[in-house]
């Protein structure tokens, strides 16, 4: 019972946690082909916390959005387990064509994404990656890397 009270309290005060919970509910409806309900829940989430996570995105376990205002995660983006996403991050397709449904990023496990980062197109961000703030990622990132910049450069291997 105490754990439930703590989770409810976190839901009330943590906009990133709130966005993840509402995403999980909308995704539940999305995969069962109740797309309108899923989109309504997503719109409510956007109005409440200014974080847009498409119900068609696929988020793993323990995805954390920290100070997430302005964060957008596109419809076919795939995000692995233990990923930290900071504020004003965009994860989506290049361009605006709705015909490119497979042109979304895949972010593997244990990734930390800095504030203001943009990850676009059919790119793979490997496991155990740290992405510096305001980086632009439009090509694959190898496992065990620290990257930063516009366009990104590998700062070091870890």
Residue numbers annotated as active site: 98
Q: Which of 20, 94, 97, 83 is nearest to 51 (CA)?
A: 20
Measured CA to CA, the distance from residue 37 to residue 30 in angstroms comes to 8
Find tokens 């539940």 and name the residue.
28
DSSP strand pairing (78-79 vs 136-137): unpaired
Q: Given the structure tokens 């004003």, which residue do they identify?
A: 88
Question: Do the beta carbons of residue 139 and residue 124 sit within 8 Å?
Answer: no
d(CA 55, CA 41): 9
The rounded distance, in Å, linking the Cα atoms of 105 and 125 is 8
Instruction: Please give the Cα distance from 110 to 18 (Å, whole number).
Output: 21
């Amino acid at each position: 019972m105490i754990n439930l009270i703590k989770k409810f309290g976190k839901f009330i005060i943590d906009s990133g946690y709130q966005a993840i919970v509402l995403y999980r509910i909308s995704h539940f409806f999305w995969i069962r082909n109740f797309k309108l309900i899923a989109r309504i829940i997503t719109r409510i989430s956007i109005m409440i916390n200014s974080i847009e996570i498409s119900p068609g995105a696929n988020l793993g376990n323990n995805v954390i959005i920290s100070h997430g205002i302005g964060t957008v995660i596109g419809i076919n983006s795939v995000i692995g387990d233990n990923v930290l996403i900071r504020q004003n991050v965009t994860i989506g397709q290049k361009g605006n064509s709705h015909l490119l449904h497979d042109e979304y990023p895949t972010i593997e496990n244990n990734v930390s994404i800095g504030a203001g980062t943009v990850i676009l197109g059919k790119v793979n961000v490997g496991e155990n990656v740290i992405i510096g703030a305001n980086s632009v990622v439009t090509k694959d990132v190898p496992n065990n890397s620290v990257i930063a910049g516009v366009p990104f450069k590998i700062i070091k291997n870890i």
